[in-house]
Amino acid sequence: RSEPIEAPDLKSEAAKKVKIGIYFAVWWALNVVFNIYNKKVLNAFPYPWLTSTLSLACGSLMMLLSWATRIAEAPKTDFEFWKTLFPVAVAHTIGHVAATVSMSKVAVSFTHIIKSGEPAFSVLVSRFLLGETFPLQVYLSLVPIIGGCALAAVTELNFNMVGFMGAMISNLAFVFRNIFSKRGMKGKSVSGMNYYACLSMLSLLILTPFAIAVEGPQMWAAGWQTGLSQIGPNLVWWIAAQSVFYHLYNQVSYMSLDEISPLTFSIGNTMKRISVIVSSIIIFRTPVQPVNALGAAIAILGTFLYSQWSLIVETSTDCSKEALEQAD
Ligand code: 3PG
């Protein structure tokens, strides 16, 4: 008797899994392409504050056009929405520009190895600033994450302090972005796609004056001449590609947040880093020492252990909430 009820359920469960699988594959592929073009641009035109601004500007323009042509429906927002979005945008801006500065100084793979340590920052911020506690296993998983990142950093052939600190600052900023955006997306009046569009626009407003102050038109004009003489008109296409792909991968990742829990998202994000690290090492022929690769592997393994333990904590919290609700 239960068959006719179960069959559609199983079907929709399978369809959901396929949908999430497609989101993940598209997200990782777009991210790999972004990282490659971003690094190609930074090698020829090393102005990360400008390229970060251009990627936000491009995304904002794409979304304004989509709303104007009704390809996407514009969100209904109020002052309260933008006020809640502001801290998210500040954190997004800092995390974005810091990661781009990092990639302008070190290999893409190194930036992403350090960025795979993001869960460690998440636990430390939650513990010391928000007073949350975690089971011992979660703290223990920080040992391989921190140890692996440290090993990869000390054995990195082209180590650069600004590059290292940029990736660390990006980690810290993105932990705050995730904490603030969890609050901001509650209630879900705005879809993931439109939430990210508004985030890009606000971040663009925040970043532009800083980009002008730190680098500025004079530096850009001089750098542009050098870049053009080395690469030719292709430089324009590379900048366009990194900007478009930056927006697209972030948009897809925020769209997937509508379907999955933040924890599944962070597992997906770690797997994304593996594809970026491997593909950038192959494409840019980055020299890697075995002990350096070992550090990266230990850090990533630590992130997986962290995800597994957090998943168990999340599931048991959900179960006890359910039990409490039933008892009520
Ligand atoms: C950026 O420029 O914002 C970073 O490359 C983002 O990195 P992530 O989305 O892989 O954390």
3-state SS, 38-49, equals HHHHHHHCCCHH
- Ligand 1 test: best mutation among 41, 94, 115, most atoms within 8 Å of CB? 115
Residues 6+ positions from 80 with CB-CB distance below 8 Å = none
For residue 96 and ligand 1, the question of a CB distance below 6 A is answered with: yes
Residues 6+ positions from 322 with CB-CB distance below 8 Å = none
pLDDT at 185: 63
pLDDT at 237: 97
Integer Rg of the chain from CA: 21
Block residue for tokens 């979660």: 138
Structure tokens, 316: 């048991």
Q: 96 C-alpha vs ligand 1 centroid, how far in Å?
A: 6
Question: Judging by beta carbons within 10 Å of its beta carbon (0-12, 13-18, 19+), is residue 161 exposed, middle or buried?
Answer: exposed
Distance (Å, rounded) from C-alpha 26 to C-alpha 275? 12
Write the ipTM. 0.94
Distance (Å, rounded) from C-alpha 20 to C-alpha 9? 17
Query: Looking at ligand 1, which residue's alpha carbon is closest to its atom 3?
Result: 96
In degrees and rounded to multiples of 5, residue 215 shows phi and psi of -110, -70
Q: 24 C-alpha vs ligand 1 centroid, how far in Å?
A: 16
CB 142 within 8 A of CB 196: no
Distance (Å, rounded) from C-alpha 60 to C-alpha 75? 14
Question: Judging by beta carbons within 10 Å of its beta carbon (0-12, 13-18, 19+), is residue 319 exposed, middle or buried?
Answer: exposed
Distance (Å, rounded) from C-alpha 115 to C-alpha 276? 11
For residue 38 and ligand 1, the question of a CB distance below 6 A is answered with: no
CB 37 within 8 A of CB 238: yes
pLDDT at 2: 47
Distance (Å, rounded) from C-alpha 174 to C-alpha 166? 12
Q: 140 C-alpha vs ligand 1 centroid, how far in Å?
A: 26
| Residue segments in the chain with a per-residue pLDDT below the cut of 50 | 1-3, 324
pLDDT at 1: 42
pLDDT at 310: 78
For residue 99 and ligand 1, the question of a CB distance below 6 A is answered with: yes
Structure tokens, 186: 């509650």
Block residue for tokens 């995390």: 95
Distance (Å, rounded) from C-alpha 202 to C-alpha 90? 8
pLDDT at 4: 53
Atom of ligand 1 minimally distant from the CA of 92: 3
